[in-house]
Amino acid sequence: MKTMTGVLLALALATPAFAHDDATLDAMPSPNGGQVRMSGPYHFELVLGDNAVSVYLTDHADTPVPSEGVGGNVIIMSGERVTIPVVPTGDNRLTGQGTFEKRPDMKAIASLNFPDGNSWQARFTPGTVSVQGESAAVDPATDGDDHAHHH
C-alpha cells in the first residue's frame, strides 16, 4: 500500500509539470512574436503578416523541429474563411500567402502533416496577441516565464 501511495503521489506531482493551457502559453513571450499553441508533441507558433502566415515548430523544450517534409494549411476565420497552404521555408518554419483581414475576433487553425505520417492541429486566436508578440495578460509574478519546467 505504501508503494502505491508513493506512485500516486509522484504522478500527482508530475502532472502539472507537463500541463500548460492556452492562457499559460499566451502569458509567455514567444520567439517570433506570434501566438503559441500545444499540438501533440509540438508547439506551433502562428505569426501573421500582411496576407502571409508563418508557422514555427518546436518541441516542448522549445527546441526547433525541422519543417522539412511537413505540409498542411492554416485556415483563417476573419469575416471570411480563407485556407492558406503552407510549405517549409526554413529550419523550423512553414509559410504561405493568402488574403485575409486582421481583426481582434479572428481565429485560425493550423493543420500540419508530418513525415512520420502523423497529423496535428492547433487552434489560435491571433487577434488577442499584441504587435510586439507579448500577450496583454503577462503575469508579473512569473514574469511571463512559466515554461522553465520543460528545460
- Indicate the helix (H) or strand (E) that contains 39: strand 35-39
Q: Is the pLDDT of residue 75 over 60?
A: yes
How far apart are alpha carbons 91 and 85 in whole angstroms? Answer: 18
Helices (H) and strands (E) in the chain, counts: 2, 8
pLDDT tens figures, 77-96:
998 999 999 999 989 999 99
Q: What is the pLDDT of residue 127?
A: 81
Q: What is the pLDDT of residue 55?
A: 98
Rounded to a whole number, what is the distance in angstroms from the first to the last CA of the chain? 33
Domain ranges within the chain, ordered by starting residue? 2-128
* Architecture of domain 2-128 in this structure: Sandwich (2.60)
pTM, entire model? 0.72
User: Across the strands, what pairs with 57?
Assistant: 44
Between 101 and 135, whose confidence is greater? 101
Among residues 97, 73, 93, the alpha carbon closest in space to that of 85 is found at 73
How far apart are alpha carbons 149 and 14 in whole angstroms? Answer: 11
Q: Is the pLDDT of residue 130 over 60?
A: no
Share of the chain above pLDDT 90, in %: 59
Q: What is the pLDDT of residue 79?
A: 86
